Amino acid sequence: MREAEIDATVAALGSLHLAQKELFDTVDQLRSLGVGKIVDLPQIVVCGDQSSGKSSVLEAISRVRFPVKTDICTRFATELILRTHPTTVIDVSIEWQDDRGTGKGASSKPREEKLGGPDDNRDIPQIIEEARKRMGVDGARKTVSTDVLRIRVSAPDVPNLTLVDLPGFYHGSGGGQNYDDRLVVDELARRYLSRNNTIILAVVGARASINQQKVLDEARAVDPKRERTLGVITQLDKLDAGTETERYWELATGSNEKTRLKYAWHLVRNRSEQEASSSNDERDVTEAAFLSSGRWAAIPEEDKGIKALRSKLSSMLSVHIAKSLPGVVEDMKRCAAERTAQLSRLGKPRSDVRELKEYLVNIADDFGRLAREAVQGSYMDGFFFDVPSSAAAAAANGGSKEDGSNDSLEQRVRKLRALIRDLNRVFVSVMYTKGQGRLIKWEDGEAMEAGETPTIPDYLVTMEQEYQVPEPGTVTETDLKLEMDRFAARNQGCEFPGEPNYRATLQFFQGLSGPWRQIAETHIRVAVDVAQSFVKELLEHVFGADEETRDRVLTEYVEPYFVAKRETLHQKLNDLLPRQSGYAIAHEHEFERRSKDRQTRRINAQIADMVEQEAKKGWTPDVSPQIKKTVLSGGNIAHTQSYADHLRTRRGEGKSLAAAERMIDNLVVYYEISRRNFTENIVILAIENELVSEIPRILNAGRFAGMPDDAVLDLAAESEQVQLTRARLLDEVEKLNKGIALCEAHSRRKRSGEC
């Protein structure tokens, strides 16, 4: 190769190296800012069972010696940052996971404390030992910490690479480890490994049986398709010939489909205890000799040895970050927008009464505006499309079908007008199907049936289950006539003989309309529950993170309001229910028309039946052609009734049953008209006028503006929790915006060819 070509190749490799370093540094800066606590950053996480040789693998990759005490395993997450650099520099720090010592509780802002320094002559194991003590990991009271140890190594012989090493899994208690610490390790591992942007570096020590490797189960649980796991096998020099050797051979070669990985398995030989004092170069030579002998010589060079592993990990992480970074930027923008919206809902900091009143007035205005839109069915605001908090659990347990058949009231509560309309439809349907105390089985079938019964679509059937109303009983028309005839006889008044007893009709109406109260009470209860849930959801929306003021408004205003509203609606129901006594009459013109129609249809059906029966006996009714024509045309009801009476007399039947029939006709017509009026009154006068239309006025801006100062302070003064929440949100938005700026700067440099 000519000298010019060599120079060009070196320059290209140098540019590639700088680009890779720039890419890794960008993600590390995001992690240092604390962005990794908010969004999922691309990373490689190292995990394995205790004593699997995990720490030795990291030591070989980084060429940094870790503590060698056999009784001290990794007890905390360690972030290992490797960067190629002409000179060797090592920095060690602790990232505390809480604001210990500040008295303000947990915060998303990491507190990093540097250990050692330029004049510190201690080696790395001594500094790590200090970190362990600072974290309180003493092996007795506490054996595992959730704090993070950060080790940054810049050196000529390390790759550009960042790894996160987790505490090793262990299977039981003892040896200074207890069950609670085991749970901490498992939870910490799942928190890291379950992130979709995490590549899992699973280290398996061949000194233990494959069946005992907990790391395989944990990796499989979070990566069932094995698409983001790279396996490393250590301690192969400890294997004896036999079944376990064959199983590790299957693992290494991927011949077992159940343990085959997308990124394959990589073989490494760590230092033995006798080789602890050997140099890094000596360690690498010994490893190369072992992996080039015996059956391991057949494994491809790129899948064995620490040098190949360094290169593989660096390349994998580079590709992974480059692929993931655009999505990370979008996640940061989304999270920043969400937190900005939360800050907006919190409002400005409130330090005096004037600011507090302004805050409450704005809340009342927002509440009233959105409540009016909900009542009017104008669902333009984002509030109407968010999943209600009260329905989150139900949605997680199966959600709802596209046709809405699984929608619960909680899932639909924000679109109030739509839900109230459907509740009213269900109420009307139940009134028509179960509101009649007894269903009458008519002698002439469909001829005397009432009008069409309203039906509801399938997706509303679950709402109907709220009405625990028994199915109505039945009574034949014949039995009802006899029953009413006997009742009328026992309660005769001053009416003329053979005429209907209207008081008896009203008495039977009370029994027929008996279920109305229960049905209406259920409808009112459900409607009020829905309205109260809507108000709660809306308050959660307009108050945002200010939960304390929201809860005080709920306790002092909303809950008393709905207690009073339930009582008002109970009284309204009593006013709208048919009276138990006294004179009652429906719309006279409609009643007269419908009653006449029923009587005509009944008498015509009876005449046709009696004529047919008598004709079979050879009897011809003695009636003038004019009356017969009138009867057949359904005209003059007096002529029709006269003809029916003539036939009854001929057949030896009395007039009392005819009076009972007219009582039934009047009863049915009166019931149908009253049912229609009652359902309309409940829907309009109770639900609409007394409940739904009043919701936008629950919070009154004028009332807040005129509230005494001490009452304002009691109601809306900012709590310490709100102040902490605002500080956290501001801090997270600042970090996210810095992270977005970092990534955009990296993108600009990449486009301009600077990296």
Q: What is the pLDDT of residue 296?
A: 92
**CATH number of 15's domain:** 3.40.50.300
**Once rounded to an integer, what is the mean pLDDT over residues 89-93?**
85
Lowest mean pLDDT among 38-52, 268-282, 594-608: 594-608
Residue 315 in contact with residue 230, Cβ under 8 Å? no
- Asked if the structure places residue 398 within a domain, the reply is no
Q: Which one-letter DSSP state was computed for residue 53?
A: S
- Asked if the structure places residue 216 within a domain, the reply is yes
Q: How does pLDDT run across 546-568, given as a tens digit for each residue?
A: 888 899 999 999 999 999 999 99
Q: How does pLDDT run across 670-702, given as a tens digit for each residue?
A: 888 888 889 999 999 999 999 999 999 999 888
- In 3D space, the residue among 219, 318, 308 whose CA is nearest the CA of residue 16 turns out to be 318
Lowest mean pLDDT among 3-17, 463-477, 679-693, 705-719: 3-17
Statement: residue 415 has pLDDT above 60: yes
What are the Cα distances from residue 346, in Å, to 36, 181, 341, 533, 729? 25, 39, 9, 22, 10
Q: What are phi and psi of 320, to 5 degrees?
A: -65, -45
Q: Which one-letter DSSP state was computed for residue 585?
A: -
Statement: residue 93 has pLDDT above 50: yes
Q: Beta strand pairing status for 89-96 and 148-155?
A: antiparallel
**Once rounded to an integer, what is the mean pLDDT over residues 107-112?**
55
Question: What percentage of the chain reaches a pLDDT higher than 70?
Answer: 76
Tell me which of 673, 707, 729 is where a domain ends. Answer: 673
**Once rounded to an integer, what is the mean pLDDT over residues 706-735?**
87
Q: What is the pLDDT of residue 530?
A: 95
- Asked if the structure places residue 617 within a domain, the reply is yes
Statement: residue 68 has pLDDT above 80: no
Q: What is the pLDDT of residue 301?
A: 93
Cβ-proximal residues to 317 (8 Å cutoff; 6+ apart), any chain: 24, 42, 43, 44, 161, 162, 199
Helix (H, G, I), strand (E, B) or coil at 355: helix
Residue 112 in contact with residue 92, Cβ under 8 Å? no
Q: Which residue has the higher pLDDT, 481 or 735?
A: 735
Q: What is the pLDDT of residue 33?
A: 84
Lowest mean pLDDT among 321-335, 495-509, 683-697, 716-730: 495-509
Helix (H) or strand (E) holding 732: helix 720-752
- Asked if the structure places residue 741 within a domain, the reply is no
Sorting pLDDT into bands at 50, 70 and 90, what band is 16?
A: very low
What are the Cα distances from residue 364, in Å, to 174, 416, 701? 60, 18, 5
Q: How does pLDDT run across 221-258, given as a tens digit for each residue?
A: 999 998 899 999 999 988 876 778 888 998 999 888 88
Q: What is the pLDDT of residue 461?
A: 81
- Asked if the structure places residue 460 within a domain, the reply is no
CA–CA gap between residue 44 and residue 200 (Å, rounded): 6
Statement: residue 31 has pLDDT above 60: yes
Statement: residue 640 has pLDDT above 60: no
Statement: residue 520 has pLDDT above 90: yes
Residue 175 in contact with residue 71, Cβ under 8 Å? yes
Tokens 């009867």, located at residue:
631
- Asked if the structure places residue 78 within a domain, the reply is yes
- Asked if the structure places residue 452 within a domain, the reply is no
DSSP 105-166: ---SS-EEEEES-TT----HHHHHHHHHHHTT--SSS-S---SEEEEEEEETTS-SEEEEEP
- In 3D space, the residue among 176, 185, 178 whose CA is nearest the CA of residue 140 turns out to be 176
Q: How does pLDDT run across 195-231, given as a tens digit for each residue?
A: 989 999 999 999 888 888 999 999 999 999 988 999 9
Residue 477 in contact with residue 555, Cβ under 8 Å? no
Cβ-proximal residues to 528 (8 Å cutoff; 6+ apart), any chain: 562, 565, 566, 569, 691
Give the amino acid at 665: D
Q: What is the pLDDT of residue 117?
A: 65
Tell me which of 673, 696, 720 is where a domain ends. Answer: 673
DSSP 25-47: HHHHHHHHHTGGGTS---EEEEE
Q: How does pLDDT run across 361-397, given as a tens digit for each residue?
A: 999 999 999 999 999 999 999 898 876 665 444 444 4
How many domains would you assign to the chain? 2
Structural domain containing residue 612: 591-673
Give the amino acid at 406: N
Sorting pLDDT into bands at 50, 70 and 90, what band is 615?
A: low
Sorting pLDDT into bands at 50, 70 and 90, what band is 478?
A: confident
Question: What percentage of the chain reaches a pLDDT higher than 90?
Answer: 27
Q: Which residue has the higher pLDDT, 454 or 235?
A: 235
Q: What is the mean pLDDT of the chain?
A: 79
**Once rounded to an integer, what is the mean pLDDT over residues 104-126?**
63
**Token representation of residue 526:** 């459900």
Give the amino acid at 402: E
- Asked if the structure places residue 63 within a domain, the reply is yes
Lowest mean pLDDT among 99-103, 198-202, 650-654: 99-103
Tell me which of 673, 700, 716 is where a domain ends. Answer: 673
Terminal-residue alpha carbon distance, the chain: 27
